Structures are given as structure tokens and as C-alpha cells.
Amino acid sequence: MLEVVTLFLRLGCTAFGGPAAHIAMMRDEVVRRRRWLTDQEFLDLLGATNLIPGPNSTEMAIHVGVRRAGRPGLAAAGAAFILPAAAIVMGLSWAYVRYGAAPEAGWVLYGVRPVIIAVVVQALWALGRTAVRGPTLAAVGTVALALYFRGVNEIALLAASGLAVMGLRSGGRLRPDRAAAAVVAAAGAVVAAAAGTTAPFALTTMFLIFVKIGSVLYGSGYVLLAFLRADFVEHLGWLTDRQLLDAVAIGQFTPGPLFATATFVGYILGGVPAALLATVGIFLPAFVFVAVSHPFVPRMRRSPTAAALLDGVNVASLALMAGVSWHLGRAAITDAVTLVLALCSLALLLRSRVNSAWLVAGGAGAGFAVKLLGLS
């Protein structure tokens, strides 16, 4: 237990770069250095995390904790990996609420927001090359994106896309036109009923929303943006697009899981109690899903049905990610300077292995300099 807690506390404090980087660091520690697992065992656990919703790197930490220290390791590993990020984000949230209205803070965020858009677009490109394998999945993703812009509910799109691909593969025919028709038929006309409405802030409502997001979110942590925007910006009106971008910037700049963005959202909505509830709400389903699925890892990994469902859900997740990137990009890229910052950041991300945290820091410095010199 002490080994598990020590390792994941350290990783929670130092694991920058997103889920792929987190998982690479975990493999280096638990396979190569400590030999807690073989490569095959590690891959089996990684495959299992891709078949359940939630933050992949956090779920991987929980799986390793169970394998090393039994059931007590489940809670210990997950909490140790999450707590450093949540604590750091809590401190930055306090500073944001206290000083965010200061002109200097606005200068920094002016440069950070377009960098975040570039980070999301780069992640979308990298994930798309893996997820969109063949014309059927491309068709499903295209239809899902079109339906997202028409206001179809995000959860309905994820479920419909997964079921469509699963049904088509089980039938043995993978024609793109049938894939598109299947998504449309499965999604139907499910439109978010609360769209455009506002409601007073309530801790219980916020907590349940984060539990829902943690229970259904597949794909990259950046897909979180689509759910946060749908619930907190569009449906409830509790956040603005710029506040959402700032939340993602804080989550990107800190180590550990990107889902710690929920801590920031909770804090700016309702202070420390809301931040704690938001953090518990979004991560709680991951512990439950790992506890339930861990004994079935070998069978899940080999299941063609589960693989087909996952392929459909993943491609719909990318469609949601693309749609929300468009909306947030309009809020972040407001002039020539922010356009240049976004394009330069995207070029660096695509052509080098630069850590996105350094780009965020560079964007902050560039924004401050541009505003200080009166260039924008």
C-alpha cells in the first residue's frame, strides 16, 4: 500500500502532458522499473480502461493499485493520483476568483486561450488518426458532428454511434451509407430539453451533473469540454465560454488528470464546498467502473462486440470534441494576434514533442507582453 501511494502521489505531482504521457510514465514505473506487471498485463489493463467511460489515466492508476495492493489499493492509487492535481487547481482557482478581474490577469488569459485551442485541435488530429479507421467510422463521425450542430443530445450521440457500429459489424456489412443512416435513426430527434434555459446554482444539481459526466464520457479528456459546455454554458447558463476556456487552461497547465478541471468549475461556481463536490462527482464513477470491470479484463479485451461499441463511441467523442472546439475557438481567437498564437502553437505541437504546459506558459507570457506594449 505504501508503495502504491508513494508512486501515484509522485506521478500526480509530475505527470504533465495528458493521458498518453501519464500512461507512458506509469508503464515506465510499474513495468520497466518495478516489474509489478508484465507488458502484456499492462496492455490488458489499458484495453479495459478504453472499454469503460471516465478518465483513462486515472482508471489505469486504479487498475494498477488493485493489482498491486488488492481492493484497498483501488482507492489508494486513485486518490493519490487525483489529490495533487485537485489541490493545485484549487489554489489556482482561488487566485483566479480573487485576481481574475485584474487587467494583468486578463492579459495573461488573452494569450493562453488561443494556445488551449491549438492543444485541443492537435489532440483531435492525433486521436482522429487512430480512431477513424475506414469509411464507416468516418461516416459515423461526420453524421455525429452534423447532429451535434443541430442540437442533438451528447449522450444520445455517443450511444447511437456505438450501437450503430456494433450493429453493422455484427451484421457483417460495413457500408458508409448504412452507417450514417444507422446513426441518424438511433439518435432520432433527441434534442437537449434544457437548451437555452437558466437555473439558479444548486450544489446538488452540480454534483449530479458531474456524476453524469464521469459516468458517460468516453475518449480523450478534451471531450469533457463538450459536456461542460452543454450543461454549464448552454443549458444552465452558470459559465461563459471564456470561463470554460480558462478552466481548461488551468487543467492543462497543472499535472495529473485533466478532469481536475471540474475542481476549477466547482470553485468558481460555489467556492471550496462546490469544488470538493465537483471533484468527487466526476471521479467517483471511475472507481466504481474499475471495481466492477477489473475481474473481467481478459474477456473484455477479446470481445469483438465490445470493440465495435467502443469504436463507435470513440468516433462520436471526436465529433463532439470537434464541434466544441469550433465554438470555443470563436471565443478565444478574436484578432490577428490570437490567430497567430493559435497557428504557431499548433505548428509546434504537430512538428515537435514540446510539452503543452510550456506552450501554455509561453502563451501567457506572449499575451502579457502584447497587452503591455499595446500591440492589441
Q: CA torsion angle for 256, 261, 264, 266 (degrees, to 10)? A: -120
How big is the CA angle at 120 (ends 196 and 44), to the nearest 5 degrees?
110
- Over 80: is that where the pLDDT of 15 sits? no
Global confidence as pTM? 0.71
User: DSSP H helical segments within the chain, as ranges?
Assistant: 2-14, 19-27, 39-50, 56-99, 103-131, 135-149, 154-171, 176-187, 203-216, 224-228, 241-253, 261-293, 297-302, 304-332, 336-351, 356-372
Residues 261 and 93: beta-carbon distance below 8 Å: no
Q: What is the per-residue pLDDT across 268-323, written as a single tens digit (0 to 9) for each?
A: 999 999 999 999 999 999 999 999 888 876 665 567 777 787 788 778 878 887 88
> In this predicted structure, what is the pLDDT of residue 223?
76
Residues 315 and 223: beta-carbon distance below 8 Å: no
Band of pLDDT at residue 58, cut at 50, 70 and 90:
very high
> In this predicted structure, what is the pLDDT of residue 94?
92
DSSP 117-176: HHHHHHHHHHHHHHH--SHHHHHHHHHHHHHHHTTB-HHHHHHHHHHHHHHHHHHT---H
- Over 50: is that where the pLDDT of 54 sits? yes
Residues 235 and 192: beta-carbon distance below 8 Å: yes
For residues 260-271, give the mean pLDDT. Answer: 94
Which carries the bigger pLDDT value, residue 179 or residue 369? 369
> In this predicted structure, what is the pLDDT of residue 21?
66
How confident is the prediction for the chain on average, in pLDDT? Answer: 82
CA distances from 147 to 104, 143, 234 (A): 40, 6, 16
- Over 80: is that where the pLDDT of 93 sits? yes
> Using DSSP, how many helices (H) and how many strands (E) does the chain show?
16, 0
- Cα radius of gyration (the chain): 20
| Count of residues making up the chain | 376
Q: What is the per-residue pLDDT across 210-251, written as a single tens digit (0 to 9) for each?
A: 999 999 887 666 678 888 998 999 889 999 988 888 888 787
